[in-house]
Amino acid sequence: MGRYAEPEFAPWDGRRVPLTFLGGYLGAGKTTLLNRLLERTERRIAVMVNDVGEINVDERLVRRRSSNSVELTGGCVCCSLADGFGAAFDALRARPEPPDQVVIELSGLAEPERLRPWGRSAGFRLDGVIVLADLTSIADQLETPGLGAAISGQLRSADVVVATKADLLDADAVAAGRARITEELVGPVPVLDGLDPVAVAGLLELGGRDPRGETVVPPGSLFDAHSVTHVEPGPLDEAGVRALLAEHGDRLVRAKGIVDAPDGGRLLVQQVGRRVEVEPVPAAEWSQATGLVLISLG
């Protein structure tokens, strides 16, 4: 985070907004995904992009525009990263009401691992790193001198990889591209393929809470060959939560929610691919238990 100075006081009375990094090389589908997300969401989402003009939002959804932001009628906002992460985060913190989620579209050669610390910036918490990979060109990209190392680094930093453009290839080519991706990964990182932008947008929105503190559960048809379930376990400590998630094995892609703890408190649970976090719900984020929303492969 360089020489940027964090605010002395946390915004929004201490509430933290989940922040998702969206990485991938040029042409992988990041901008298309963001457009679909803004078109379909009913939540207040802040999207940070290198160039606001790249997000060609339907004019019917736009409330007002300025040189570095687009504000939509549904409460979403697109902010420019042209002046750096610090300026963009400060602009969000200056808003009287926090967004429900922040999605940051990284540039084509950005290194998500180096940017993870921004997920601990005042008022925010890291929700995950999702990297898109174009199946039609991933093999050539990885073999290109200079570019290959950058693409490999993006894949290795991902919590979830989404392989795009599978509809443009036959089954053998999809399998070959997917195999090339998994060769670059370290550890059990889920690789999802064949998903359209609407499905990936649903992955970003998983487990959002509406103003009443209720979990917004995605429809069961969110992914082909994926199952979406909502479970309400009894009181669990951290070990119990991790054991419950482990029952789903490596096929569990995403989990999110709030569960009751044996001591009368509540635990915030989130899993994105290989990364699992279980922590007490801070006072500023206190709400009723929501149960857990789970997305599993197959």
pLDDT digits (tens, 9 = 90+) for 166-183: 889 999 999 999 999 999
Residue 184: pLDDT band by 50, 70, 90 thresholds?
very high
Residue 209: pLDDT band by 50, 70, 90 thresholds?
very low
Residue 199: pLDDT band by 50, 70, 90 thresholds?
low
59, 64, 192, 198, 295 from 224: Cα distances, Å? 31, 37, 11, 12, 11
pLDDT score of 220: 44
Contact 19, 101 (CB under 8 A): yes
The CATH homologous superfamily to which domain 12-205 belongs is P-loop containing nucleotide triphosphate hydrolases (3.40.50.300)
Q: In the chain, where are the structural domains located?
A: 12-205, 226-297
Residue 194: pLDDT band by 50, 70, 90 thresholds?
low
Classify the phi-psi angles of 14: left when phi > 0, otherwise alpha if psi is within -120 to 50, otherwise beta: left
pLDDT digits (tens, 9 = 90+) for 219-248: 444 444 567 788 888 899 999 999 999 998
Asked whether the predicted pLDDT for residue 67 surpasses 80, the reply is: no
Asked whether the predicted pLDDT for residue 259 surpasses 60, the reply is: yes
pLDDT score of 2: 59
pLDDT score of 198: 64
pLDDT score of 219: 47
The CATH homologous superfamily to which domain 226-297 belongs is CobW-like, C-terminal domain (3.30.1220.10)
